[in-house]
Amino acid sequence: MKVFIITPNLRFGGSEKVVSLIGNELNKTNDVFTIVFDNKKQSFKVNSNIYDLNAPASENKYRKLISFLKRVFKIIKFIKRHDPDHIISFTESANYVAIICCIFTRKTKRLRVSVRTNLNFYPTRTKLLVYLFYNFANKIIAQTNGAKEGLKNIGIKENKIQVINNPIRFRAIKNIFEKRQYILSVGRLSHEKGFDLLLRSIKKTNNKNIRLVIVGDGEEKNKLIKLSKKLNIENKIKFVGYKKQMRKWYLNAKFLVLSSHYEGFPNVIIEAMSFACPVISFDCDYGPKEIIKNENNGILVPQGNIKLLSKEINRLYTNSELNKKLSYNCYKDSKLYDVSKIAQKWIN
């Protein structure tokens, strides 16, 4: 089969990682073309053919319109030339373009659009656009059952929605109970990730031995560094920046903490689990509650409850038996998300 995957870019990010994993897996048995709006600063490797539209995003309204039209005309031409059997789009900006292109080329029955964000935080205008456009697609792929309900509430027909979780590349670990050194947190240093709540929780633990490593970069980095100093915990916190290779960071962590205000589908949870690194997470919309079985393969904390989060951090840090139990179970459960199994759902 000939498959088109349409995405804005292949830079560092959760959606981009999913595109590379799914695309590479599909490319083993299909002819895959990855169409990107702008391929500068590519972070993820894809084994498929890459077609760069050279139509980057812009804040300027005039340039934004020009880029949008350029994307549409080039993809329509590409569809007519190659006549794909399936077209998959990732993220909202790519979804609108793909839908318009498939309407003009009469390929809507071959189109699957993938929703990557939390719909509760969409502005009313965006929700209206989703309602007007997404029903044209043959299928809308949601990452979680919560996202499915969000789509239904907007007005998307239920029979069009399919839930497919994000994938990981599962690898066997020889000794999942190796000596581990620190607490880990991973993500973009931005408001929605709630790192300020995590720092306040670390302060409340009153545990002198706790060390937290934060992997990631973002606009709130300096603010978070200042907060750690204000809380007098700067000696417990290490900001190491963005790391492309995460294996050693997961393997050396006692557990991972996710303190987000909201999520689409938190890749970091299943990635950590695949390295036998259990997760404590706020029970935010969406995702964590659909991955974590509380007290079995991880720990869920009511959203925003800093006091309870600090208590659970301290408990898992000091209780080796609980840590071993969660490590074993989360590692075992992470196999469900191996890319070979998730890709098969896309094929089906």
Q: What is the mean pLDDT of residues 82-106?
A: 96
- Which are the contacts of 345, defined by CB distance < 8 A and separation ≥ 6? 164
Contact 220, 198 (CB under 8 A): no
Nearest by Cα to 188 from 165, 219, 222, 152: 219
Instruction: Give the per-residue pLDDT at 32.
Output: 95
Contact 173, 331 (CB under 8 A): yes
Coil, helix or strand for 328? Answer: helix
Coil, helix or strand for 135? Answer: coil
Antiparallel, parallel or unpaired: β 161-163 and 182-186: unpaired
Contact 346, 114 (CB under 8 A): no
The share of the chain scoring above pLDDT 90, in percent, equals 82
Instruction: Give the per-residue pLDDT at 173.
Output: 85
Instruction: Give the per-residue pLDDT at 210.
Output: 96
Whether the CA torsion 285, 291, 293, 294 is positive or negative: it is: negative
CA distance 283 to 304: 9
Question: With bands split at pLDDT 50, 70 and 90, how would you rate the model's confidence at 100?
Answer: very high
CA distance 112 to 136: 10
CA distance 26 to 2: 10
Instruction: Give the per-residue pLDDT at 118.
Output: 76
pLDDT (tens digit, 9 = 90+) per residue, 218-263? Answer: 999 999 999 999 999 999 999 999 998 899 999 999 999 999 998 8
Question: Which helix (H) or strand (E) segment is 130 a member of?
Answer: helix 124-134
Coil, helix or strand for 22? Answer: helix
pLDDT (tens digit, 9 = 90+) per residue, 133-188? Answer: 999 999 999 999 999 999 999 999 999 999 999 999 998 887 777 778 999 999 99
Task: Kindly list the structural domains of the chain, giving each domain's residue range(s) and its CATH number in brackets, ordered by start.
Answer: 2-168+338-347 (3.40.50.2000), 182-336 (3.40.50.2000)
Instruction: Give the per-residue pLDDT at 311.
Output: 98
CA distance 48 to 306: 45
Question: With bands split at pLDDT 50, 70 and 90, how would you rate the model's confidence at 303?
Answer: very high
Beta strand extents in 71-199 (DSSP E only): 86-90, 111-114, 139-142, 161-163, 182-186
Q: What is the mean pLDDT of residues 316-344?
A: 96
Tokens linked to 325: 């139990």
Instruction: Give the per-residue pLDDT at 329.
Output: 97
CA distance 11 to 114: 18
Q: What is the mean pLDDT of residues 329-344?
A: 95
Instruction: Give the per-residue pLDDT at 171.
Output: 86
